[in-house]
């Protein structure tokens, strides 16, 4: 299995956002992970569709857009139009999760659902055939640079078993670095989000390579 690396631009230099995206593309990442925060669902603010649209031309890599906003459904079309390829909504922030996933797919995008650390995987049972990606938060969402919550490893394993042979990617976000990535992948993840672990140095190719090397 080839593990995909999705650097979170939350940890990048916002003053050079387009250049940062181009740099991690050149460094060999697989997705560009974009954390959208509303200051309501999570205690932080980031950016919205206009910024995503502005940086879309800097790479051809998929934009993996993680909506930490409540409500999300009224804005799905805006994010699709801005250039998102994968749109992930939080189960905790969506009263009509099934409908939102249908809307995302109807917009021609891949549909994702995210679970906070205290949210049980049983919430996924009735939407498994409507998702393309499941995102397990291994930190409490809202801030970068947090430590990995070990209890999420068992959840990742259980979700991998639930997925079975469905073509669903299992992504993990939060505290993933060269020390934790192997346990995350061994538990069942095939996409890992890494913010600080990638952007901590000047050589993004080296930091991404270090993550792959940690899996050997």
Residues with a catalytic annotation lie at 35, 173
Which residues have a Cβ under 8 Å from the Cβ of 105 and sit 6 or more positions away?
Answer: 111, 130, 132
**3-state secondary structure (DSSP) of residue 60:** coil
For 70, half-sphere exposure in the C-beta direction (CA atoms, 13 angstrom radius) is: 14
Please state the separation of Cα 166 from the chain's center in Å: 19
DSSP string, 107-170: TTSEEEEEE-TTS-GGGGTTTGGG-SEEEEESS-TT-SSPPP-TTHHHHHHHHHHHHTTS--EE
Which residues have a Cβ under 8 Å from the Cβ of 160 and sit 6 or more positions away?
Answer: 170, 187, 188, 189
Which pair of structure tokens corresponds to residue 204?
């993004």
């Amino acid at each position: 299995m080839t593990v995909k690396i999705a650097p979170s631009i939350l940890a990048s230099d916002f003053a050079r956002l387009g250049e940062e995206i181009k740099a991690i593309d050149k460094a060999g990442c697989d997705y560009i992970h974009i954390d959208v925060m509303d200051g309501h669902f999570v205690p932080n603010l980031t950016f919205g569709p206009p910024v995503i649209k502005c940086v879309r031309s800097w790479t051809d890599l998929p934009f993996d857009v993680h909506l930490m906003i409540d409500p999300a459904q009224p804005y799905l079309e805006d994010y699709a139009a801005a250039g998102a390829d994968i749109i992930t909504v939080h189960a905790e922030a969506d009263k009509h999760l099934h409908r939102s996933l249908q809307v995302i797919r109807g917009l021609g995008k891949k549909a994702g659902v995210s679970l906070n650390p205290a949210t049980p995987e049983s919430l996924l049972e009735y939407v498994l055939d409507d998702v393309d990606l499941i995102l397990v938060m291994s930190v409490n969402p809202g801030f970068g640079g947090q430590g990995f919550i070990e209890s999420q490893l068992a959840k990742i394993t259980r979700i991998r078993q639930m997925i079975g042979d469905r073509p669903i990617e299992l992504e993990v976000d939060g505290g993933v670095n060269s020390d934790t990535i192997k346990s995350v992948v061994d538990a069942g993840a095939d996409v890992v989000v890494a913010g600080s672990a990638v952007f901590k140095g000047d050589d993004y190719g080296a930091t991404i390579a270090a993550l792959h090397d940690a899996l050997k």
